[in-house]
Structure 1
């Protein structure tokens, strides 16, 4: 996944500025992002503060790691079951 140019605190600050009354196109022009990017941020991070955002990213990373471990174990089990099936 591509790393964002913006830190979590910058994204949260941008969302708060729009909530305070700044126009979305003006903010996007100032930050150099598209309006689609801003609305994606708002749907994903709206209503969060920096600590919640950091916790969510930690959980996403842990979820990714656990999924990878599960797939590896599932492949091992399939190999073993195939080997046992061929043996008998």
Structure 2
């Protein structure tokens, strides 16, 4: 089965749809199947996006991307520092 990645723009409406189904008496399994995901995915989405509005979810994803980029830059800088430190000490 091919995996499909959903963005926050697709996840939030699907979560709302599932919540309506559950409020009408459907089980989580049935609601998850109706929105085209597994129960595990539903719970993961609910944990991550449960109380967020669309704009908040977009901002969260932007911040996560920026955080990952900054972590990579920091790791590169630390590596450069270590290389320079080693070269300066003469331990080639």
The normalised TM-score by structure 1 is: 0.83
Q: What number of residue pairs does the alignment pair up? A: 85
The normalised TM-score by structure 2 is: 0.80
**Equivalent position of 1:8 in the other structure:** 8
1:86 is displaced (CA, Å) by 1.1
Two-structure CA RMSD over aligned residues (Å): 2.0
SS in 1 for 2:37: coil
Q: Is residue 56 of structure 2 the alignment partner of residue 58 of structure 1?
A: no
Maintained 8 Å contact 1:28/1:34: yes
Distance 1:72 1:3 in 2: 32
Q: Is residue 43 of structure 2 the alignment partner of residue 39 of structure 1?
A: yes
Maintained 8 Å contact 1:14/1:27: no
